[in-house]
Structure 1
Amino acid sequence: MSLNSTGTVDSEAVVTLSGTYRCSGPSSYAVVNSSVGDRVAISTSVICDGAEHVWVNHGRPNPGPLVRVGQAEVATRLQRWETGSNGFPRIVTLAIDRKSVDLQAAAQ
């Protein structure tokens, strides 16, 4: 899993982040979650088929102040749901990438 070192933010504080991932296993459905600072994650559904894919998260992280142009601490997680030993679903984190991302102004 990788997180690109640049992203964009538009005038309405909508953030776009991207990177690549690869996964396979018992569940073909997974998500890539990205958190900007301490704001709630924006997510994208992805497929775990063993191939490398590009992911893109696009949304407005909440709650808190609006995200602005500049450096931001971002954590991105590749996660999937699996059935636990008790029969209930649980979220398993497969990979994490954290870094300072340069958020640039999105083209209008």
Structure 2
Amino acid sequence: MSKRPALYAAAGAAALLMLSGPAVTAHAAPSESVTVDPTGRLAADGTVTLSGTYRCADSSGPVFVSSSVGQSSDGARHGIGGTRAVCDGAEHSWQNTGKATPNDLAPGIAHVEATLMELRPDTGLPLPRFHAVHQQDVTLTQI
């Protein structure tokens, strides 16, 4: 029996926990980073595409680049996908696509947070280890 569905469920739960809680501070090693491109895409149906780069050196469990976006003054954010990361020390591109609640996002300035997170199997239950976090404002363009 494959452990992959359970692993992805754990990754999703960890990402939701991360998005629902207060901002997480990660102190990245110099060899670890995540960036966000200055422009994101917004489709008429609410589909958002965000992208950037990441770099990580090593891991003992699966690593993901997760992202969230928001425009409201109350700090509400929408989780926008997750990409499996390869930790080999090289810089890689990431791109996440997800659908926000219709009419919650509009073309213009939005705040994005990208997180490079590993699910470490140290205790038998995969627990998150944050490799890097980056926040910045981007411009959402209508496509």
Give the TM-score range, shorter chain. 0.7 to 0.9
Check the 8 A contact 1:18/1:56 in 2, yes or no: yes
**Structure 1: any 5+ residue segments left out of the alignment?**
none
Identity of matched residues, %: 35
Instruction: Name 2:88's counterpart in structure 1.
Output: 49
Consecutive aligned runs of 4 or more in structure 1 exceeding 4 Å deviation: none
Aligned residues: 104
Does structure 1 residue 32 correspond to structure 2 residue 65?
yes
Tell me the CA shift for residue 65 of structure 1.
4.9
Instruction: Name 1:15's counterpart in structure 2.
Output: 48
TM-score by length of 2: 0.65
Which has more helix, going by share of residues?
A: 2
Tell me the CA shift for residue 51 of structure 1.
1.1
Give the RMSD, CA atoms, in angstroms: 1.8
Letter in 2 for 1:47: V
Check the 8 A contact 1:35/1:61 in 2, yes or no: no
Letter in 2 for 1:42: G
TM-score by length of 1: 0.85
Instruction: Name 2:19's counterpart in structure 1.
Output: none
Which has more strand, going by share of residues?
A: 1
**Matches of 1:65 and 1:105, distance apart in 2:** 13
**Matches of 1:51 and 1:42, distance apart in 2:** 22
Tell me the CA shift for residue 57 of structure 1.
0.7
